[in-house]
Structures are given as C-alpha cells and as structure tokens.
Structure 1
Amino acid sequence: MTGGSDPGELLSVGPGLAVALVALALMGAAVAWLGRTGYGPAVLGAAARATLQLAVLGMALSLIVRSLWFTAAFTVLMGCTAGWTAAGRIVGRRPRWSEFAVTTVTVASPAALLTVALILSGVLPARGIAVIPVAGSAIGAAMAAAGLAGKRALEELTARRGELEAGLSLGLDPMFIRLDLTRSAAATALIPALDQTRTVGLVTIPGAFVGMVLGGASPVAAAVMQLYVLVAILCVTPVAIVAITWLVADGRYETGSRNY
C-alpha cells in the first residue's frame, strides 16, 4: 500500500500510476510479440479497452445500482458481451448470429439462474450493488471457461480428424465420436478455476476480499463472500464447459482463420 490520502486505496492515483500502466501494457505486448505468440497487438488492445470500459463503468455505476431496471439491463449487457467474446474465442473470427446466440445462452443462463435463486431465497439482497458483482463474477468465469473449452474442442476435432473419419466409417454415432474426442481437451478449461480455489489464501489474495476488508467489512464477512464467489465459479464453469463441448460436437461452430 502506498501513502495515499484514502486509507482504502491500494494504489495512489496520479501520473506515476499512469506511467506504470502504460509500461506494463507495453512490456506485456513486447514479450508476446517477441515470443511470436500472435497476441502482441491483442495485449495492447485489451489494456486500452479495459481502461475505457472501467472509466465509463466508474461514472455510470452509481446510476446503475440505484435502479433494479438499470441493474437488469446492465446484467443483460454483461451476458451478451460475454457471449460475443466467448463465441469469438471459439471460432477465431467474428461470430455468426447463431453462434453468438447459443454461446450467450450457455454463458449467461447459469449465472442468471443462480442469481435469481439467491435473491428469491433471501441470501442476496435485490439491490444493484449486490447483484452486479455476484452475477458478473459468474458470467465472467463461464465466459472464460466456455471460450477456452470450445477452442480446444474444435482444435481437437481438427487434429484428430483421421480418428473421426475412422469411427464414422465403422458406423459409430457421429455425436458419440465427437464428444469422445473432445471431452478431455475441453475439460482442461476447468483447471484455472480449480487451481484458483485450491490456492486461495495461500497463493492468491482475492481483490474482492481485500476491498471488503479495507471498506470496513469484517474479515469473516469478506471470507464468506469470497468463498461464495469461488464456489459459484466452480458451479457455473463445469456447466459452461459441458454445454459448449456438446455444441461443438453438434456442429454449431465453424473454425476461423485468425486469433480473436
């Protein structure tokens, strides 16, 4: 922590922070470019988008959380954005409408059902300040898992095309063969969520936990909230992975030709 005027600040906002952010983005992009990952420009683009989007969110959030209608609309926007991003990651190009639609339903539905169930059970207050971070964490986790699982599943079908054609020539069910070929590769998308949960408090100290404590919440309340977030992620992530794998096996996606 720095010596800022706000005791809740983790970083001092000022020219030094701006320079640090630019340097970090440039360094990440340079390493990605020198390593020939193909994602050098994407690093800079992601950093620029994050800056703009967080700035807009910071200005609009106080208005959004005051109304359940605005909260619902913003949650829908989160789901659609997550669906578009995951679909693009899967196919490696701008997704078609059908690809976007099925991915959005897959990514957003588990988080929506979970959030509604928590509100109806009285566990989660029906207030924007509570709904948005809870729904957003679940949608974000499902988005990342779906994008990676779908991408890996499509790559596996391409790499193991000979096995697929051999199975078809034997008269095996196409869906059965595709699922058998893609399940293991797609399931690796669950590893980040598992590792994050297993090592919380030992390797990683979640930002939400730190923020709640600095904001005045008790460590117990912060720990309970963080535990919920991690368990919710472990709930929605397998759902997204299994559903996307099935959609890939069913031929709902076609591969693209570039990184997305």
Structure 2
Amino acid sequence: MSSTMLVAGPKLAVALVLLTALAALVATVGRLGHGRQIAVAAVRAAVQLGAVSLLIAAIVASLWATAAFVALMCAVAAGTSGRRITAGAWGWWAAAPIVAGSLPVVAGLLLAGLVPVRGIAIIPVAGILIGGAMTATSLAGRRALDELTDRRGEVEAALALGFLPRDAVLLVCRDTAGQALIPALDQTRTVGLVTLPGAFVGVLLGGAGPLAAGVTQLFVLVGLLAVEAVAVVLTVELVACGRLRPAPSSRRTER
C-alpha cells in the first residue's frame, strides 16, 4: 500500500468520529442550525460509501449497471436539490437542470472518445458533473426563491409597469441566483494556488505524472463550469415560469 494513502483502521475511525463531533458541536454552539444534520450527513456518507465500495466492482463490469447507477445518481441529486429548494411535488422539477446540465456533457465526452466507454471511467466523471449540477441547482433555486420572497413588492411593481410575469421575476432574482456560480469560479481561479482538488490528487495517486494530473483536473473544472452554468440558467427559468415555487411557509426547513 502506498504511504500516501489513508490507512483504514481504528485510528481513522476515531479521527472521523472526532471530526464529525467537532463540526456538529461548533455548529450547535454557534447556533447555525445544522448540528444534527452534520452528524446525520457523516453517518449517511459512511454507510453509502461502504455500500458503493462493495458494489462498485460489479457495477463497473456492466455498462447496463453503470447506466442504472448514473440514473440513480441523477434521481438522488434531483431529490436532494428539490428538498433544498421547495416542498412537495414541485421539487422534482430540480431534475431538469441537473440532467440537462450534466448528462449531455457526459454523452459528448463519450462520443468524442475523451472518456472511455467503461464503467470505471464513466461513473466518477458522471458523479463529479452531476454533483456540480446538484450544488448549482440547489444554490440558484434557494437564492432565487428567497429573493422573490424578500422583494415581492418589486415584482408587483414591475408587473404594474407592464412587465410580463416571467420578465418581472427574472428582473428581481436572476443576478442573485447567478451567485451560485461563485464556488465553481473561485475553485477554478485558485486551483494549484489554494487547492489541489480530488481529480488531480487521484490521478497522482494512481501513478500518472503531474502533467497528466493537471490536464485531468483542468478538464474537470472547465466541465463543471459548463455544467453549472447550464444548471443555473435552467433553474432560474423554472423559477420564472412558476415550476419551482416557494414552500408554503415563508422559510424552508433544513433537511
């Protein structure tokens, strides 16, 4: 085993428990409202990664199983974003920007031969892009709906001036929702100077050279920018068209 890899064992388990407890404690003491969610998220991550680790060998051996797993990733991402944005059946509209943003890019990469048609290559690439689309959709949707709630009077004023409903909503929420791209932009701008993201480290640990690792990471970052831009634009359009609506209460509860 490479000395650069984390070693599974009691020490790692204790470290994970302590880090989770620290994060939950700080969030609770700081009254951030996420103490319980941090603990639940950590436990879920451990269970889910354990299950995937056991199943991944069987999944990547079959393209059909790989396609089914990618579909499952999209469904889970859509459910997660939908619950973050709103309540009820309206939340499933979050599937549209996630799927439209990520899967065409994955398909294009496969058709161009940049990603091999193999499960072991498709799943991590699809996971990175779907995850980016999920994050962008959640942030854009929440920011847009919160802005509409806070600035409802401005929307009504625009309607009174003759704006169409879609245009009145976009006038108020589009710029704020666009801030969902800031994390991806900052990560891309500072890569190599502040952060060395997972793809870069993973390729290095896999035995490739620094140049190959850098090219891979650049590809991932630019792909994420494209995916998240599409996801944000479509999310804002769904809000403007009334497909994604505020929850019945004025503020959504965290999950």
Q: Which TM class, normalised by the smaller chain length? A: over 0.9
How many residues align? The count is: 251
Aligned-pair CA distance for 1:171: 2.5
C-alpha separation between the residues in 2 aligned to 1:203 and 1:195?
10
State yes or no: 1:148 paired with 2:117: no
Q: 1:140-188 CA deviation, whole Å, 9 max, x = no partner? A: 0010010000000000000001111122222321110100100111011
Say if 2:199 and 2:220, in contact at 8 Å, map to a contact too: no
Letter in 1 for 2:244: Y
C-alpha separation between the residues in 2 aligned to 1:8 and 1:243?
45
State yes or no: 1:123 paired with 2:114: yes
C-alpha separation between the residues in 2 aligned to 1:137 and 1:161?
36
Question: Of the candidates 227, 234, 250, which is equivalent to residue 218 of structure 2?
Answer: 227
Instruction: Give 3-state SS (helix, strand or coil) of 2:50's partner.
Output: helix
Runs of 4+ residues deviating >6 angstroms: none
Determine the structure 2 residue equivalent to 1:208: 199
Say if 2:70 and 2:127, in contact at 8 Å, map to a contact too: yes
C-alpha separation between the residues in 2 aligned to 1:208 and 1:175?
39
Aligned-pair CA distance for 1:8: 5.6
Determine the structure 2 residue equivalent to 1:183: 174
C-alpha separation between the residues in 2 aligned to 1:161 and 1:252?
17
C-alpha separation between the residues in 1 aligned to 2:124 and 2:235?
24
C-alpha separation between the residues in 2 aligned to 1:254 and 1:115?
29
Instruction: Give 3-state SS (helix, strand or coil) of 1:259's partner.
Output: coil
Say if 1:8 and 1:215, in contact at 8 Å, map to a contact too: no
Letter in 2 for 1:202: L
Determine the structure 1 residue equivalent to 2:18: 23
Structure 2 length as normaliser, TM-score?
A: 0.94
Say if 1:75 and 1:135, in contact at 8 Å, map to a contact too: yes
Aligned-pair CA distance for 1:218: 1.8
Structure 1 length as normaliser, TM-score?
A: 0.93
Determine the structure 2 residue equivalent to 1:74: 69
State yes or no: 1:166 paired with 2:161: no
The gaps in structure 2 that reach 5 residues or longer are none
Q: 1:209-252 CA deviation, whole Å, 9 max, x = no partner? A: 11221221122221111111000001011100010011111111
C-alpha separation between the residues in 2 aligned to 1:43 and 1:224?
34
Question: Of the candidates 30, 33, 38, which is equivalent to residue 28 of structure 2?
Answer: 33
Say if 1:8 and 1:214, in contact at 8 Å, map to a contact too: no
Alignment of 1:3-152 (within 5 A): 6-7=1-2, 9-91=4-86, 93=87, 95-96=88-89, 98-100=90-92, 102-152=93-143
The gaps in structure 1 that reach 5 residues or longer are 1-5
